[in-house]
Structure 1
Amino acid sequence: MRRTAEDAAKTRVALLDAALRAFEEKGWRGATFEHVAECAGVTRGALNHHFRDKQTLLIEALEWGWSDYGQRLFSQNNDSVGTSAHEALKALLADFTRLLTRDERFRALASTTVLVAPQALEHSERNSALDEWHERIEGLISMPERDTARPGRREIASLVLVLLQGFTVTAVTRPQDIPQPDELDTALTALVRGLLDS
């Protein structure tokens, strides 16, 4: 039976998802092609058809994961026309934090980014997946004319990205330090005010 392009695309997504979970569970060395194929419910041959080696699989899984979640997070914020920069950044940070604490695939993406990618990938390969996020964060920030005493949109976007990366590392290494739901709003309001009103 001949497979359709849609079937192949579904298999590819299942493999990328399985790879993130396998890397989180087994680490770089333990996440073999056999284990990833088993997690995805396909043969090793199917995995080899889509990815030539484990490093390519890791790179593409990270790019897919960050792109997919980026689309979701930023489309939610783009739907809020007329939202202030304060509200947009606070919503982004709140949604990101909720994903870290409630979404298993997102936690697998975070864990793989923090713990596995540094072992397996060059610096530029690890960071390429998040480059687009900087521009999108910058787009959320509407600011009046540049006051040289205050950071500009680019600098604030860089700080927000650093904060998101810090949340990611914290979710993996010390999850109890992530603000809990009852304190999240207050914590994020203070963070955003500090970023935009300094």
Structure 2
Amino acid sequence: MSTERAPEKKRRSNAERSAATRSAVLDATITAIVRYGYRGATSERIAEISGLTRGAQKHHWSTKAEMVVEALLYLHDKLMVVTVAELDQAAGKGIRPVLDALWRSFQTDLFTAADELHVAARSEGELRPKLIEAEREIGRRIGDVTTAALDDGRQSARRLGEVGAHAVNVMRGMAFQSALLPSPEREQRQLTVLEQAVAALLEAEAG
């Protein structure tokens, strides 16, 4: 009869447990915002979704505004891994694959949550400056990966940045419209028009 003992599971450190708790609360915060909006994403609902006590929220964040903005950046970090991989695959294959990959990033909980926070920030003085700072960071990240994917070596960095920003802003408008009235057919037509516009803008400098 074997006397070997089963290997003991490695106990998580305090830092690992803290990080796991933080991630669970941030995931629950995004879920609550998507389901109930900013004001409806109460500490009670976040606690219920996360399976953790309200004390876990108070331990890591001093205000709701801090928590929801960090949740937005946290979700964006996770989505950027997928988006960057897709844009890397699309690079060099033409404009449309790049736009398709970028558009998929607008069809996620990130955009829905950001939309809810944008509306709330109009009347929530504490949320507004934190959200503006987070949006600048998110915009910079998206802009960097988009311009890198569109770069064929013929345009200046400034021109690529302008065209990338234009594409992102158009997709923001498309996403707002689709949130209220989804239409895959309309979205594909809009992407075709955007593809033509991006091509013309890039060729204008390259030529």
Give the TM-score band, short-chain normalised: 0.7 to 0.9
- The TM-score normalised by the length of structure 2 is 0.73
Measure how far apart 1:197 and its partner are.
2.0
Percentage identity across paired residues of the two chains: 23
Q: Distance between the aligned counterparts of 1:135 and 1:157, measured in 2?
A: 8
The match for 1:154 is 161
> Which is further off, 56-65 or 122-131?
122-131
Q: Distance between the aligned counterparts of 1:144 and 1:108, measured in 2?
A: 35
**Candidates 78, 86, 92, aligned match of 2:102:** 92
Measure how far apart 1:16 and its partner are.
0.9
Q: Distance between the aligned counterparts of 1:185 and 1:28, measured in 2?
A: 31
SS at match of 2:59: helix
Q: Cα–Cα, structure 1 residues 38 and 52, in superposed 2: closer, same or farther, change >3 Å?
A: same
Alignment partner of 1:189 is 2:201: no
Measure how far apart 1:21 and its partner are.
2.2
The match for 1:54 is 64
Alignment check: 8 A CA contact 1:88 1:140 kept: yes
Alignment check: 8 A CA contact 2:87 2:98 kept: yes
Measure how far apart 1:54 and its partner are.
0.5
- The TM-score normalised by the length of structure 1 is 0.76
Measure how far apart 1:87 and its partner are.
2.6
Alignment check: 8 A CA contact 2:69 2:134 kept: yes
Structure 1: gaps spanning 5 or more residues: none
Post-superposition CA distance 1:86-145 (Å, at most 9, x none) = 43223322x235x34xxxx34542443433344432263342342211111111112453
- The aligned amino acid for 2:142 is W
The match for 2:128 is 121
- The aligned amino acid for 2:52 is V
Alignment check: 8 A CA contact 2:26 2:74 kept: yes
Alignment check: 8 A CA contact 2:143 2:165 kept: yes
The match for 2:39 is 29
SS at match of 1:191: helix
Alignment check: 8 A CA contact 2:91 2:150 kept: no
The match for 2:172 is 165
* Higher Rg: 2
- The aligned amino acid for 2:34 is E
Measure how far apart 1:81 and its partner are.
5.4
Q: Cα–Cα, structure 1 residues 74 and 117, in superposed 2: closer, same or farther, change >3 Å?
A: farther
Q: Cα–Cα, structure 1 residues 92 and 108, in superposed 2: closer, same or farther, change >3 Å?
A: closer
Q: Distance between the aligned counterparts of 1:81 and 1:155, measured in 2?
A: 18
The match for 1:132 is 141
Measure how far apart 1:27 and its partner are.
3.3
Measure how far apart 1:167 and its partner are.
3.0
Post-superposition CA distance 1:31-69 (Å, at most 9, x none) = 232321222110111122222211110110111122221
SS at match of 2:85: helix
- The aligned amino acid for 2:147 is E
Aligned length: 184
**Larger relative CO (CA 8 A, sep 6+): 1 or 2?**
1
Q: Cα–Cα, structure 1 residues 32 and 58, in superposed 2: closer, same or farther, change >3 Å?
A: same
The match for 1:69 is 79
Measure how far apart 1:157 and its partner are.
0.9
Structure 2: gaps spanning 5 or more residues: 1-10, 202-207
